[in-house]
Amino acid sequence: MLKFFRNHAVAIGWVIVGSFVVTMFAGALLMHNAGDAPQVTDSPKDNWAYVGNVPVDQIRFKELLTQSFAPYTQNGGLELDPQMVELLQYSALMQAVQYTILHEGARSVKIKPTKQELEDALQRVYIQYDLKDKKALKKTLKENNYPYDSFVSYLEADIVSQKFLTYLQNSIHLTSQDVDNSYVQIRLQHMLFKPSDNATEDPESKANAAAKKLGSGSPFEAILSTVATDPSVIASGGDMGWVGIGMLPRELEKAAFSLEKGEWTQPIKTHYGYHIVKLTDRRTMERPSSINYETEKAQLLPKYQQASVELFIKAFLDRYPLDVKDPILAAYHHKSQGNMTAAVNAYQAQISQSPYDPRPHYLLAHVYAGIDPQKSMDELKKAKIKIEIAPDLDFAALHLLDGDLLRKIGDNAAANAAYDRAIRLAETQSATLGYLASFFKERQDTTRAVRVSQLKLALDAKAALTASANAEKMPEKALPR
Distance, in Å, from the CA atom of 327 to the CA atom of 474, rounded to the nearest integer, reads: 49
Sheet of 322-324: strands edge to edge?
Answer: 54-55, 49-51, 322-324
CATH number corresponding to 354-425:
1.25.40.10
Residues near 126 by Cβ (< 8 Å), separated by ≥ 6? 132, 133, 136, 137
Check: CB of residue 369 under 8 Å from CB of residue 405: yes
What average pLDDT score do residues 41-64 get? 83
The 10s digit of each residue's pLDDT in 328-370 is 999 999 999 999 999 999 999 999 999 999 999 999 999 999 8
d(CA 24, CA 117): 13
The answer to whether 42 and 55 have CB atoms below 8 angstroms apart is no
Torsion angle (degrees, nearest 10) of CA 239, 245, 251, 257: 70
- Mean pLDDT value across residues 452-481: 77
| Domain residue extents for the chain | 7-170, 176-287, 354-425, 428-468
pLDDT tier at 166, thresholds 50, 70, 90: very high
- Contact in structure between 48 and 56 (CB atoms under 8 Å): yes
Element housing 5 (H / E): helix 3-7
Q: Give residue 392's pLDDT band: very low, low, confident or very high (50, 70, 90).
A: very high
pLDDT digits (tens, 9 = 90+) for 190-237: 999 988 766 567 899 999 999 999 999 999 999 999 888 888 888 899
What class does CATH assign to 176-287? alpha beta
Question: In sequence order, what are the residues at sequence separation of 6 or more whose Cβ sits closer than 8 angstroms to the Cβ of residue 468?
Answer: none
